[in-house]
Amino acid sequence: MPLAALIENLGLACADLVTVSSEAMRDELLQRSRKLELGLKPERIKVIKNGVDPDVFKPSEGGPADDGYVLFVGRLVKQKGLEYLLRSIYYAIPKFTGIQLIIVGDGYLRSQLERLCTSYLINDHVKFVSTSPWKTRQELAKIYQGASVVVVPSIDEPFGMTALEALACGCPVVASDTGGLQELITHKVNGFLAQPRDELDLAQWLMTFLSSPDLRIRLGKEGRTGLNIEYTWPQIAERVIQLYGDLLDVPLNKKIQPMAAKLTEQIETTTREISPRIADQELPSLFDWERRS
């Protein structure tokens, strides 16, 4: 098991409270806890949604663009499913010859994705926009406002910040039917949900939006108006403050849980394989369980 996962499991086993950004993530952690016997009880996991600033991420005056572009915003990594989006663009080109895909983001897959564009002969229809240095929120909002459709083709997504920002901007969204995206997008109400890893299904719903300006406007408006108090930062901050306040009444557990001790040993073993120096000099101070017992 990777070192990062071991450290995360240790945190899950010892934490008095764990916050996650979606019900899907909560279910995933509970399944992991049962499988690994981490002892993480359902009541110790609270869902705190991510938020958006509606005063920055807001619709353009004219609504979703008629002659805009298809937009992707995110890291260029396997999880984000960009290869399926590129294939869906390939299928859409015969019907929408002027289609343009703007990809905003950076990541280790960029060169591979560029080669895929070359293989599918879609270079003229795809533009990569680097986010290094990262765009300001205002710059990013303008990019959303210029889009006809925002696509979130993730293979898996704990929440889906891109989808939330797009909804706030009144942009129609096509997203994968997975994870937290299922909680943000209601199919045919404020967007479309496509099967993950299915470029044909993705192309179907993308072309449905491109074929109908009225549909883009209607679902774009629903996306903006459907955002409730749950997704605004002041209310999220109040919820977090309340959770921390509730923890003040919970006695500090100073006893070592058997699973925590086991995980600590696994972390030490894995770290020693990677870097004996760190294992000898830094880990003892981080995991000094005897002092806490």
CA distance 26 to 45: 7
**Percentage of the chain modeled with pLDDT above 90:** 65
- The CB density around residue 12, as the number of other CB atoms within 10 Å, is 21
**Of the listed ranges 81-90, 161-170, 259-268, the one predicted with least confidence:** 259-268
Can you give the pLDDT at residue 292? 46
Confidence of residue 9 (pLDDT cuts 50, 70, 90): confident
**26 is written with which tokens?**
């909560």
Q: Which of 159, 133, 129 is nearest to 147 (CA)?
A: 129
Can you give the pLDDT at residue 286? 63
Can you give the pLDDT at residue 250? 73
Looking up tokens 């500090």 gives 252
Q: What is the pLDDT of residues 123-157, one digit of tens each?
A: 999 999 998 877 899 999 999 999 999 999 999 99
Q: Which of the given ranges, 2-16, 80-94, 214-228, has the highest pLDDT on average?
A: 80-94
Tell me where in the chain the CATH 3.40.50.2000 domain(s) lie: 69-231
The residue that leads in pLDDT, 194 or 6, is 194
Top-level CATH class of 69-231? alpha beta
